[in-house]
Amino acid sequence: MANLIDGKLISTQIKDELKEEVAELKKKGIDGCLAVIQVGNDLHHQCMCATRKKACEYVGIKSLSYELAEETTQEEILELIEKLNADASVNGILCQLPLPKHIDEDAVIDAIDPKKDVDGFSPQSVGAMVIGKPGFLPCTPAGIIALLKRSNIDIDGKSCVVVGRSNIVGKPMSLLMLRENATVTVCHSHTKDLKDVCKNADILIVAIGKPKFIDASYVKDGAVVIDVGIHRNAENKLCGDVDFDSVVSKVSHITPVPGGVGPMTIAMLMSNCVEAMKR
């Protein structure tokens, strides 16, 4: 039977460590403040905002929430970002994605001061990650590296397959695994023989956005499986991109959904906020 990788437990350990760091920084007169911009009233975004707010409270960082109407213009968002960039009391800024279609997401991401880019999505942050310079790492991939390391899973020299190449998960994930000396293969919707490629993986990371897509036929015996996907099924229950029940008896380690990657994304956001405070 597989070992469950407990993202809830590991994320709590990380937040506890950060809480201590924040207390130390406060003693030196350094306060943390994360500003979150949300456009429209998508229910999932609201849940994310509530979870972030709770994490900020837990760690000891102030959070500011800007809940803007769906019809807010790009200029209005850019003006707000400019104001937050100039506000010395704000050290982290993030804009909940995706944004409504009339707004150019790249323009919004570019507008955030790289020193406050705690999501790690700005071209400067991405460039620094690619060449291995210090900078903010994108939260979900960084959280997966922390999950693997804190679960004592060896990455060095392992064959890693990442399914998905989005800018926020798949691409940065492959770069971070490369940085840890894995031999990395990235798959996407044009990949031929996906099953055969996945079956070679010692570590299989799935960020495909399709419920229960990966079943036991894609997985090598004893592999480590990281499921990034989050979906709500017809019974309103959460599930991932991996068919957990099909795969669990075949693998050595697996992340559950919920309670795997999800909590780590928030913990790494808090970690980036603390990093921003230190800078």
Residues that bind ligand NDP (CB under 6 A): 140, 163-166, 168-170, 187-191, 194, 207-210, 228-230, 241, 261-262, 265
CB of 97 to ligand NDP, least distance (A): 9
CB-nearer residue toward ligand NDP: 28 or 190: 190
CB of 164 to ligand NDP, least distance (A): 3
CB of 173 to ligand NDP, least distance (A): 9
Q: Of 211, 215, 244, 216, which is closest to residue 229 (Cα–Cα)?
A: 211
Burial class, 130, CB count within 10 angstroms (exposed 0-12 / middle 13-18 / buried 19+): middle
CB of 18 to ligand NDP, least distance (A): 18
User: For residues 228 and 140, is the Cβ–Cβ distance under 8 A?
Assistant: yes
Q: Of 267, 257, 278, 276, which is closest to residue 5 (Cα–Cα)?
A: 257
**Three-state SS annotation for 198-234:** HHCCCEEEECCCCCCCECHHHCCCCCEEEECCCEECC
CB-nearer residue toward ligand NDP: 39 or 268: 268
CB-nearer residue toward ligand NDP: 135 or 172: 172
CB of 75 to ligand NDP, least distance (A): 27
DSSP alpha helix (H) spans, the chain:
7-27, 43-59, 74-86, 105-111, 123-130, 139-150, 170-179, 194-199, 244-247, 261-278
CB-nearer residue toward ligand NDP: 60 or 143: 143
Say if strands 92-95 and 33-39 run parallel, antiparallel, or are unpaired.
Answer: parallel
CB of 86 to ligand NDP, least distance (A): 30
Q: Which residue has its beta carbon closest to ligand NDP?
A: 166
Q: Of 56, 63, 30, which is closest to residue 276 (Cα–Cα)?
A: 30
d(CA 248, CA 114): 40
Structure tokens at 155: 């990455």
CB-nearer residue toward ligand NDP: 25 or 238: 238
Q: Alpha carbon 28 to chain centroid distance? A: 30
Structure tokens at 52: 């972030």
CB of 186 to ligand NDP, least distance (A): 9
CB-nearer residue toward ligand NDP: 33 or 168: 168
CB-nearer residue toward ligand NDP: 265 or 272: 265
Local structure of 251: helix, strand or coil: coil
